[in-house]
Amino acid sequence: MILTVTLNTALDITYRVRSLRPHASHRVSEVIERPGGKGVNAGRVLAALGHQVTVTGFAGGGTGRAVRDRLAGTGGLTDALVPVAGASRRTIAVVDEISGDTTQLNEPGPQITPAEWAAFLDRYAELVPSASAVALCGSLPPGVPVGAYAGLIRTARSLGVPVLLDTSGEPLRRGVAARPDIIKPNADELAELTGSHDPLRATEDARRRGAHTVVASLGPNGLLAATSEGRWRATPPGRVHGNPTGAGDSAVAALLSGLVSRLPWPARLAHAVALAAATVRAPAAGEFDRSTYEELLGRVTVTGQAGH
């Protein structure tokens, strides 16, 4: 079982408009709602890839109920979300059909009480021993300690369970110090962590700070990985237009799938880039078409070498 943690779950809402213009009214041509938050998205993709997945974190209010209702029909996925009094957030993606660009609006999330946080820690402690890998994903809702991920990493590592961390800012900085097996920042998050805007130098700096492996997302330019086994870069076959919501989470899912399947790093990165690109092409957040994924996989370019 792969365990994904989403402390700030969301109901992802995608609006499609013909052309998004500031200070104007828009007629929405389509509305799609999906359960979201980084770990939830990654969990859904992992389930679609054939893995057994458990998702945990928080869910509350009407949006939380909507998230859980939509997860209920997902084969291979177990809902272990912890109920809270506050309402889970919504994320709004507005897709401009002419340009193909997407505008994203993210709410902050509910206030988490000390009792709710303690209930989550109990749930996490119950789940981790049965996990083959853990993914800690996304922002922290108000009330959750800024060092939360660092503590969750230490718990998993004490049990020999590998951990992937996908967050930003101070939670990332503190989490890296707890020595996660993999971190997956984007270029801006990596620069904020290390102070370097050179991705190769920044990935090595992040490893020195504690991360065993750094997989940096370079947006449309693919992924850059610095590992104990070598360095590689995976590039998609040309620029992909569409809705990027959930693309990074699909990359996380592919990295976790490759980890538990013991794929070599070049193959893990190729799958991650292809799956992320297929997610961008899909009409709804966090979805992908398998035939598109398989077609893109054959055209991903991976360069680099083992060793240093």
List Cα–Cα distances, 216 to 67, 149, 207, 227, 247, in angstroms: 29, 19, 12, 11, 13
List Cα–Cα distances, 173 to 90, 115, 235, in angstroms: 26, 26, 27
**d(Cα 147, Cα 144) in Å, to the nearest integer?**
8
Q: 61-71 vs 38-48: helix axis angle to the nearest 10?
A: 10
Q: Is 75 exposed, middle or buried (0-12, 13-18, 19+ CB in 10 A)?
A: exposed
249 is catalytic: yes
**d(Cα 110, Cα 59) in Å, to the nearest integer?**
9
CA angle 151, 85, 170 (to 5 degrees): 30
The single residue of 96, 101, 249, 289 carrying the catalytic annotation is: 249
Contact 275, 290 (CB under 8 A): no
Helices and strands: H and E segment counts in the chain:
10, 14
**d(Cα 57, Cα 37) in Å, to the nearest integer?**
10
Where residue 68 falls (left for φ over 0; alpha for ψ -120 to 50; beta otherwise) is: alpha
**d(Cα 146, Cα 139) in Å, to the nearest integer?**
10
Beta strands in 75-220 (DSSP E): 77-84, 89-96, 102-106, 133-137, 163-166, 182-183, 213-217
Q: Which of 174, 200, 175, 177 is nearest to 187 (CA)?
A: 200
Contact 131, 161 (CB under 8 A): yes
Cβ atoms within 10 Å of 143's Cβ, excluding its own: 16
The residues annotated with a catalytic role in the active site are 249
